[in-house]
Structure 1
Amino acid sequence: MADDTITSRPTVPVERVEIDLRTVTEGLRFPEGPVAMPDGSVALVEIARGTLTRVDVATGDTRVVAECGGGPNGAAMGPDGRMYLADNGAFFTWFTDEASGITIPGPTPDEHVGGAIAAVDLMNGTTDLVYTAIDGVRLVAPNDLVADGHGGFWFTDHGVQHGNHPGRPGLCYAKADGSGIWGRAFDCDANNGVGLSPDGSVVYAAETHSGRLFAWDVVAPG
């Protein structure tokens, strides 16, 4: 990676476009990380439920693929056919608004010890922990991940915030086979979503608290 310099661009007007929107299913418990599957279904995580769930887009029916526990926060297909999860380790307490029925995340519980990167076998639901630490230091709350097409993936750690975990990386890279994990960007403040440009030459991360989008050049895989 070339450097950690944040790339800034001028603010541009956003044009509102009307689109047709339909509800596919309801009753999910804080869903995130939808992944379009080859059979036309959608796999997603339910953070508050601790599951990887599959949704039949045609019927709206749902099926739990894996009871992951923790707080599965993001999902991406790996090179080995397993679904890789950014697990925040139950980083939030959960509340339900009685008036609206909406599930709302609250403070981090005292018993939270850290998150992990996990992998789910889609055939039998077996969940394996692939990474829990970098150089012996526990991951705080992995949030999102994206495969890079080179046997690895980039992921963000939302739990790394200014002042509470100094020196820990908020953007990381790991090999899907468990052979290596590295911190790549530091001094972040609750990095959230992560994505790659179509050609894989730029990795982007959204920083929640500051409202910023970062961009780093990728000069080689990882």
Structure 2
Amino acid sequence: MDIEVVTEGLQFPEGPVAMADGSVVLVEIKRQTLTRVRPDGTQEIIAELGGGPNGAAVGPDGAVYICNNGGFEWAEADGLTLPHGTPADYKTGSIQRVDLETGAVTTVYDACDGRPLRGPNDIVFDRSGGFWFTDLGKSDGDRMHMGHLLYARPDGSLIRRAREGMVTPNGVGLSPDEKTIYVAETHTSRVWAFSITGEGEIAAPPNLFAPGKVLGPLPGYQMLDSLAVEAGGKVCCATLVNGGITTFDPNGGFEHRPFPDPLITNICFGGPDMQTAWITASGTGKLLMGRWPRPGLRLNFNA
């Protein structure tokens, strides 16, 4: 797969969204911004978000909704930018809304049922206009929160936890028929597949020892980050340490495509045939582009 560097000098890019005008909107976690990258590689800051903007998606109103994890500490090693821990000024995580025309930022949610959001990470909208998102949690070196899968409406009228007690849930995506929600766990390197039974609801576990269908885990020491789904139903997960994209077949098996950064964090699809893939190489601060062998699933909303 031929790879093109679209732009570089980004400060830990994540959450790319292929826009209708050919640009890519993404977050820069370290810079704390929502940024637009034009096809020629020029960069434009849309909004200052604070904290740690992590995932992004266009909602039914044309605004961009952000999973903000509240922030990280940062280190530099071997030419890579590395996030870790929780900063001293951390308060909480949140879901933010950004008006693309004005750059205005509002906070839609920072808690669910009176419990604060710890580290919202990735987000996907369903056809009805509601969105699923993951809360990975935060760690201070001694303690790590359990994570959750949540569902919410963008107007602030509903937020609920669909699944509690997950281990670093990160990437989230819907199957083409929207009957299954996929959640990638970072530290376990596995992808959960939960059957959707209603608005923000998933099927009860069949028994104590089978809480859901699992894709993976990957062998050796590898970790999963955000994900995107192909039009044919395969699940493409950004892979850390063994930097690249691992594609899981829901019927079994996986394949790995390497990219030149151990911190590959996300992939999105676009273009007329949905076979243009944009990949965030976060450790080196680059946005990459290549021709994917199969079309990606078109998202429900764009701007």
Q: TM-score band (shorter)? A: 0.7 to 0.9
Moved beyond 3 Å, runs of 4+: 163-166
Q: 1:135 aligns with which of 103, 113, 124?
A: 113
Alignment-derived partner of residue 72 in structure 1: 53
Alignment-derived partner of residue 116 in structure 1: 94
- Greater RCO structure (CA 8 Å; 6+ sep): 2
Say whether 1:20 aligns with 2:39: no
CA contact (8 A) 2:85 2:138 kept: no
CA contact (8 A) 2:95 2:110 kept: yes
**Which amino acid letter does the alignment assign opposite residue 132 of structure 1?**
D
Q: Provide the rounded CA distance (Å) in 1 between the counterparts of 2:177 and 2:30.
A: 34
CA contact (8 A) 1:160 1:191 kept: no
1:40-189 superposed matches below 5 A: 40-57=22-39, 59-90=40-71, 92-97=72-77, 99-100=78-79, 102-159=80-137, 164-165=144-145, 170-189=148-167
**Which amino acid letter does the alignment assign opposite residue 54 of structure 2?**
N
TM superposition shift of 1:40: 0.6
Q: Provide the rounded CA distance (Å) in 2 between the counterparts of 1:215 and 1:113.
A: 31
SS of 1:23's equivalent?
strand
Q: Structure 2-normalised TM-score?
A: 0.63
| Percent of aligned positions that are identical | 51
Structure 1, unaligned runs of 5 or more: 1-18
**Which amino acid letter does the alignment assign opposite residue 48 of structure 1?**
K
Q: What is the number of residues matched between the two proteins?
A: 197
CA contact (8 A) 2:94 2:111 kept: yes
Q: Provide the rounded CA distance (Å) in 2 between the counterparts of 1:51 and 1:107.
A: 20
Structure 2, unaligned runs of 5 or more: 201-303
SS of 2:197's equivalent?
coil
The structure in which a higher percent of residues are strand is 2
SS of 1:209's equivalent?
coil
Q: Provide the rounded CA distance (Å) in 1 between the counterparts of 2:191 and 2:25.
A: 26
Per-residue Cα deviation, 1:146-179 (whole angstroms, up to 9, x for no partner): 0112121000001168x7446xx51000001110
Q: What RMSD in Å do the two structures reach over aligned CA positions?
A: 1.4
Q: Provide the rounded CA distance (Å) in 1 between the counterparts of 2:163 and 2:91.
A: 22
CA contact (8 A) 2:86 2:138 kept: no
1:197-212 superposed matches below 5 A: 197-212=175-190
Alignment-derived partner of residue 31 in structure 1: 13
**Which amino acid letter does the alignment assign opposite residue 66 of structure 1?**
A
SS of 1:24's equivalent?
strand
